[in-house]
A and B are shown apart, each in its own frame.
Chain A
Amino acid sequence: GAVVSQHPSWVICKSGTSVKIECRSLDFQATTMFWYRQFPKQSLMLMATSNEGSKATYEQGVEKDKFLINHASLTLSTLTVTSAHPEDSSFYICSFRDRNYGYTFGSGTRLTVV
């Protein structure tokens, strides 16, 4: 099946710093990738859609200047949380759509901002 590699698995950072999360599709060229956020005991919420070579599309209420998305190649998309604050602590998960396998998810990144 389709494989997505997401790094890091977890990160602890100080308030005010920036954190970059990488998501790679290992066996599929992903024109479109998706970034989700999941707070404890809640559902996954779509943050943004990342299109290769163009600007990402953000869902309502998601600050594009705070969550920078770069999808420079068909196999790599990155999410940078800028000036992170404790309320940004969450589980961030990337996903891409594979026609054969539906939506494949990365393993997720647990961000803790202290």
Chain B
Amino acid sequence: QQPVQSPQAVILREGEDAVINCSSSKALYSVHWYRQKHGEAPVFLMILLKGGEQKGHDKISASFNEKKQQSSLYLTASQLSYSGTYFCGTTSGGGADGLTFGKGTHLIIQP
């Protein structure tokens, strides 16, 4: 089953914060976050593994609540370059499974 992302879209002013959520009805092994700009391939942001993790890089961080089968991506003090569509991709097994992506969250950062 496809994970559910929320919100579908969000418009922010530069410098504001955003949270994007990803939830699944299936038990998850890993959650992968990507950002895609129009006409380009997805760019890897981070991976969170089973066992419950929180990690971050610069002003982007994420958490994975294994029990709730949910992950959240946090964008702090957003920059114009953060604009794009954010996808979460999930796996339910630890083997070589492909990713099942959510429908995406469109993020627009305005000056």
Contact = CB atoms under 8 A, between A and B. Distances in A.
Interface of A: 6, 31-32, 34, 36, 42-46, 49, 93, 95, 97, 101-108, 110
Given A43-B2, A44-B101, A107 B32 contact: no
Given A43-B2, A43-B103, A93-B42, 4 more contacts: A43-B101, A102-B44, A103-B89, A105-B44
A49 B87 contact: no
Contacts of A36: 98
Interface of B: 2, 32, 34, 39-42, 44, 46-47, 87, 89, 96-104
Contact of B98 (A43, A46, A104): A46
6 contacts: A6-B41, A44-B89, A49-B97, A102-B44, A103-B99, A110-B39
Contacts of A105: 34, 41-42, 44
B96 A97 contact: yes
Contact of A44 (B39, B42, B44): B42
Contacts of A31: 96
Contact of B87 (A34, A43, A106, A108): A43
A104 B101 contact: no
Contact of B41 (A32, A34, A42, A108): A108
B22 to A, nearest CB: 12
Given A105-B41, A108-B40, A42 B96 contact: no
B100 A103 contact: no
